[in-house]
Amino acid sequence: MKTISCMNIDENTLYSSGGEIRVYKKGEQIYREGDHALYYFQIKTGKVKLNNYDEDGKEFIQNIFGGKQSFGDSMLFLDKFYPTNAVCIQPTEIIRVPKDRFLKLIKSYPDLSLEMNACLSQRLYFKAVMLQNMASLNPVSRLTGLLDYLKSYHDDSCGNCFQVELTRQQVANLVGLRVETVIRVLKKMEKEGSVKIENRKIVY
């Protein structure tokens, strides 16, 4: 599966285009749901989760990103509001580039523009595949769809070594299953060899 992390632009290129380092503490928000997209964000070190909450205050984690990954890219091309929050889950350094400077950058480097188009297309593809699997009544299909989608954002050159940074409850919330069902299905998938459980973490 090809990684769609997605953009990982050379840091010097970002700095020459007006990029600046921003340092965030654990738990600090980078942007909130409903904010306008004003910057391109690329993680230098640390981890960031995209999440939102339902009307009862239950958290839904959409994805987690780490070093050399970007997030929120697609919103730079739309006059829309962010549909999620971006929150640091550990101390994080981020290179951010103002939207107008970033758009100018990718116009100046056609290869970057093509890479971003491919990246966004792959995200749409894997999102569609995940939604298709989520519609299944088979819990294994639901979990596999989610795991494939999450893994698609990461380099899979080491094979089955993607560690899922979600709790069982968070996985259950994402796939619409009871946590007891998720635990049971994961044990079945582990016996079949499609996942591993290491230090209580799901490895796919």
155 vs 110 pLDDT, higher one: 110
Helical residues (DSSP H) of the chain, grouped into ranges: 11-16, 99-108, 110-134, 139-151, 168-175, 179-192
Region 28-47: mean pLDDT is: 96
Report the pLDDT value the prediction gives residue 3, as an integer from 0 to 100: 40
- Find the range with the poorest average confidence among 75-79, 149-153, 157-161: 157-161
Going by pLDDT thresholds of 50, 70 and 90, the confidence category of residue 105 is: very high
Report the pLDDT value the prediction gives residue 110, as an integer from 0 to 100: 87
Contacts of 122 by beta carbon, 8 Å cutoff, 6+ apart: 2, 4, 6, 152
Region 78-93: mean pLDDT is: 93
Rounded Cα distance, 20 and 7, in Å: 17
37 three-class SS: coil
Cα 19 to its chain centre, rounded Å, is 22
Q: Check pLDDT > 80 for residue 158.
A: no
